[in-house]
């Protein structure tokens, strides 16, 4: 949850992509330390398109649920790693 609204959604992915674009163009990023930590979804110490993609996949899967609870993002990421 990059923007702190307690929801992981497409807005978070958009913010991550915007930050990544700034960093790619060698400009200073705008994220606070806590935003950078939240944006670094895969734990590789970088905010990039992979993180945005994972956020969108998580959000899409959460939207498609018809029953049951969606695991939190950290648990979901660990489940994705175990599938590899």
The crossing angle, in degrees rounded to 10, of helices 73-83 and 49-64 is 100
> What tokens were used for 44?
């590789």
CA count, 13 A, side-chain hemisphere, 8: 24
What is the predicted pLDDT for the residue at 84? 58
Provide the pLDDT for residue 40. Answer: 96
72, pLDDT greater than 90: no
* 77/47: higher pLDDT: 47
Digit-coded pLDDT (tens) for 9-52: 999 999 999 999 999 999 899 999 999 999 999 999 999 999 99
pLDDT for 64: 86
């Amino acid at each position: 949850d990059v923007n702190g609204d307690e929801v992981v959604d497409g807005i978070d992915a958009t913010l991550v992509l915007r930050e990544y674009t700034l960093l790619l163009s060698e400009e200073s990023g705008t994220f606070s330390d806590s935003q950078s930590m939240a944006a670094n979804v895969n734990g590789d110490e970088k905010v990039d398109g992979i993180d945005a993609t994972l956020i969108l996949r998580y959000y899409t899967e959460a939207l498609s649920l018809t029953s049951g609870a969606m695991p939190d993002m950290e648990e979901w990421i660990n489940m994705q790693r175990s599938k590899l």
